[in-house]
Amino acid sequence: MAKYFQQSLTQIVGPQKPQLEPLAGAALAKRSRVPPLMRSQDKIPALGRRIIATQSLRGASTWACIGGPVATGDCPGPLDERPVGYAFARVTPGCFLRLSLLYSPSGNTQALNTEGPPALESTGVGGSVIVRVTWTSQALSTTTTEHEIVLAPSQEDDGAPSTAPWATVRVAGVDLITPEIDSSSDKRRWTEHVAAEVSIYHRGGVRMVDLCLHEQPHVVVRESDDDATFWASHMFGMGSPEGPAQGLTTYAVQRWSETTPDGMPQGGTWGFMSSAAAQGLRLGPALVHWTPWGETTGTGFTTSPVVRSFSSTSFTRLWDGGAGTYSGTGVGWSMSSAAYASDAGECDDYWSDADRSVPVLVAVYADGRGTAPGVLRVQSHAFSWVDVATASTSGFNWYFGYGHLRCGKGPDDQVIAQAFMRRNGGSGTLDVAAVSVFRMGQHEHVS
C-alpha cells in the first residue's frame, strides 16, 4: 500500500535563515540542533509566487471595448471567446494557480439582429474572463480546468467607460485553480513537476487593467517510494494524510530508509542532502510570459489567436519586427532576478564569478502553417542565447528549447533578454502567439 507524506504550504512565510552556529565545529553535537534546518527545507517551496501569465494594458491608449451605443467595431459579441494570451509552465511542486484581476467595469456587447432589416442591437453590458488550464502530470495524465469570472458591468449609459477610471477599478480573481483532487494520490500526482498549458479569453465587454495568473503554494504530497529528486521538500514534520496523525520523525538523524516499498524517507542526512539537491534542480523562477495581444493591436474582436507573423529567413525582433541583433541596452525583458536561482553547479563556466547564468526552458506557441519551420532565439548577451526550433506543422503547438541564459548577479545588475524569430527554410509565413521562459534544472531536458 502506498504511503504518502503531506506538507501544507499555506501558512509558511518569510525567508529562511536557519542558524548555523550550533553546527559549527567544537560545538556539542545534539540532535535538537538539526530539526530547525530540516523544517526550513520544508518552507522553501512556499516562498514563490511565480507569475505564469499576464494580460495588461501595456501602455495602450484606449480600450478595445470602447463601449457606448452599439456601432460597428465598437462592441464585441456577447458570447465569443476572444483569446488574449497563452502561456506554458512547469508548475513548482506544491503549487497550484491563482488568478488576480484588476479591471474597469465592462462595457456593452452587440449582435446583428437579422430578423427584419439587419441591424446591430445591444446584447447587454457585461464581460467575463475565462482561464483554461490543461494540466499534464509527470506520468502524462491530462486534465483541463476552466474558470470563468464574471466582471462587474459599467454603470454608465450603454456601458460606456467610466469618466474616472482610476476611481472605479475593481479587483476580482480565483483563489485557487487546481485539477480535481480527491485523494492523496491525486495530490501527489498534481504536486509533482506538473506542466500547465494556459489559455486566457475575454468574453463580452472586458476592460482589463491587469490580469495576473500566478502560482500559489498549497500542499505537497509525496509517496515514500518516489525518487529522491522529487522530494523538493523535506517534509520533516508532517504526518501521513491517510493514516493516523504522525508527529515529527522520531529521529532527526536517520537514514533514508532502504526498505521498499513504503520505507521512511523523512529525516536523516540522506534526506537532507536529497532535498537540497532536489530544490536546486526543481525550484526556479518564471522569467518571461509574452503574447502579442494588445488592446489596440488585437484584430478587432477576433476569436483567433493574435499573432506576430514571420516570413523572413533572417532574424527579426519578436515583438516589432525590428533589427535582429541583440542590444543589452535596448527594450527587453528583465533577466536579473533569475540570479536568485543561479547554482554553482549549473552556472556556465564562461560567466564565472563576475556574472551568472541559469538553465532555462523556452516555450514557443507557434503555427508553421504547413510550410514554414522557424527558429526563435531568446538572447541575453552577445554570446548567450537559446534557440527553439518550430516545425512547419499547421496549427498551433508548443515547442521547447533548453539552454543557459546570462542573468547577471541580481536585481541590481540589469540584464536584458530579447527575442528574435526567423523562418528556417520552407516557405510562406509562420505565426507566433506566445513565448514563455522559465528556469529549469538540468535534470529535465526537454527535446
Partner 1 sequence: MATRFYLAASTASDSVTPAFSAAWTNTTGVVRRLLALATDGADTLASVGAQTWTAGQLRLSRQFVSGPMRAGQTISGTITAYARVLESNADDNAVSRLGVWVSSADGTTVRAVLLAVGNYGTSTEFATSNTNRQWASAAAISTPYVTQAGDRLIVEFGYTDATGTTPSANAIYGRSGASDLPQNETDTSSSNPWIEFSATLTLLDGGIAGVVEYGPDTIFYGEASTPTPTQLSVDLSGQDVDMAINAADITEVTSARFNLTDTAAWEFIVGCSNTANGSIYTYNSTQVQVQIVTGWILRLRVNNATVGDITLNDSSTRVRRVMICVSMEDNPFTTGASDAKRYEVLAYQPSSSGSIQRDVFLGAAPAATAGTALINVTGSNISTYAARVSRAFHSTTEFHRAFVEVASPTALSEERLEQPVPDVASGVGDDGHFAGHVHMLAGRALRTHDLRLWGPIVTEIFDPIGEALPGSYFLGSEPTTPNVDTLLNACYRRPLPPACNRVRVRVYVTISAGEVEITAYSANAAGHLSTPPAQAGYVVFSGTPTATAASGWIDCGTLAVARDADGYGYFWLGVEDIDPVSTYEISAVSIDPVLVVDDGPSEGLGLDG
Subset of residues 295 to 354 that bind partner 1, contact rule: CB under 8 A: 296-297, 319-320, 329-334, 336-345, 347
Q: Which is nearer to partner 1, 256 or 396 (CB)?
A: 256
Q: Under rule CB under 8 A, which residues in 204-243 are in contact with partner 1?
A: 209-210, 212, 214, 216, 228
Q: Quote the least distance from Cβ 245 to partner 1, whole Å.
A: 27
Q: Quote the least distance from Cβ 204 to partner 1, whole Å.
A: 20
Q: Which is nearer to partner 1, 204 or 268 (CB)?
A: 268
Q: Which residue pairs, CB below 8 angstroms and at least 24 apart, start in 263-266?
A: 263/224, 263/225, 264/224, 265/5, 265/222, 265/224, 265/226, 265/228, 265/231, 266/5, 266/234, 266/235, 266/236, 266/238
Concatenating the DSSP letter of every residue in 283-351 gives: ---EEEEE----TTTS-TT-SSPP-EEE--SS-EETTT---SS--TTSS-EE-GGGGGG--TTTS-GGG
Owner of C-alpha cell 499573432: 307
Q: Quote the least distance from Cβ 43 to partner 1, whole Å.
A: 8
Q: Quote the least distance from Cβ 394 to partner 1, whole Å.
A: 26
Among 4, 7, 37, 75, binds partner 1 (CB under 8 A): 37
Q: Is 19 in the site for partner 1 (CB under 8 A)?
A: yes
Among 10, 62, 259, 302, binds partner 1 (CB under 8 A): 62
Residue 18, judged by CB atoms within 10 A of its CB (0-12, 13-18, 19+), counts as: middle
Question: What is the rounded end-to-end Cα distance, in angstroms, of the chain?
Answer: 35
Among 287, 361, 363, 378, binds partner 1 (CB under 8 A): 287
Q: Quote the least distance from Cβ 177 to partner 1, whole Å.
A: 14
Stretch that binds partner 1, among 41-49, 144-152, 185-193, 384-392 (CB under 8 A): 41-49
Among 5, 6, 44, 218, binds partner 1 (CB under 8 A): 44
Among 165, 261, 300, 428, binds partner 1 (CB under 8 A): 165
Helix, strand, or coil (residue 183): coil
Concatenating the DSSP letter of every residue in 216-277 gives: EE-EEEEETTS-GGG--S--TT---TTSS---S-S-SS-PPP--TTT---SSHHHHHHHHHH
Q: Under rule CB under 8 A, which residues in 390-429 are in contact with partner 1?
A: 409-412, 414, 416
Q: Which is nearer to partner 1, 124 or 263 (CB)?
A: 263
Q: Is 15 in the site for partner 1 (CB under 8 A)?
A: yes
Q: Is 194 in the site for partner 1 (CB under 8 A)?
A: no
Q: Which is nearer to partner 1, 103 or 392 (CB)?
A: 103
Q: Which is nearer to partner 1, 130 or 281 (CB)?
A: 281
Stretch that binds partner 1, among 152-160, 181-189, 239-247, 265-273 (CB under 8 A): 265-273
Helix, strand, or coil (residue 47): helix
Residue 419, judged by CB atoms within 10 A of its CB (0-12, 13-18, 19+), counts as: buried
Q: Under rule CB under 8 A, which residues in 72-131 are in contact with partner 1?
A: 92, 98, 100, 102
Distance CA 185, CA 91 (A): 18
> How many helices (H) and strands (E) are present in the chain, helices listed first?
3, 20
Q: Quote the least distance from Cβ 116 to partner 1, whole Å.
A: 36
For residue 268, give the C-alpha cell: 536523516
Q: What track of x and - describes contact with partner 1 for positions 245 through 264 (by CB under 8 A)?
A: --------x-xx--------
Distance CA 253, CA 271 (A): 9
Among 34, 89, 361, 433, binds partner 1 (CB under 8 A): 34
Among 144, 183, 269, 304, binds partner 1 (CB under 8 A): 269
Q: Quote the least distance from Cβ 195 to partner 1, whole Å.
A: 17
Residue 132, judged by CB atoms within 10 A of its CB (0-12, 13-18, 19+), counts as: middle
Give, to the nearest 10 degrees, the angle between helix 35-43 and helix 268-282: 20
Q: Which is nearer to partner 1, 26 or 245 (CB)?
A: 26
Distance CA 51, CA 195 (A): 14
By CB under 8 A, the count of residues binding partner 1 is: 107
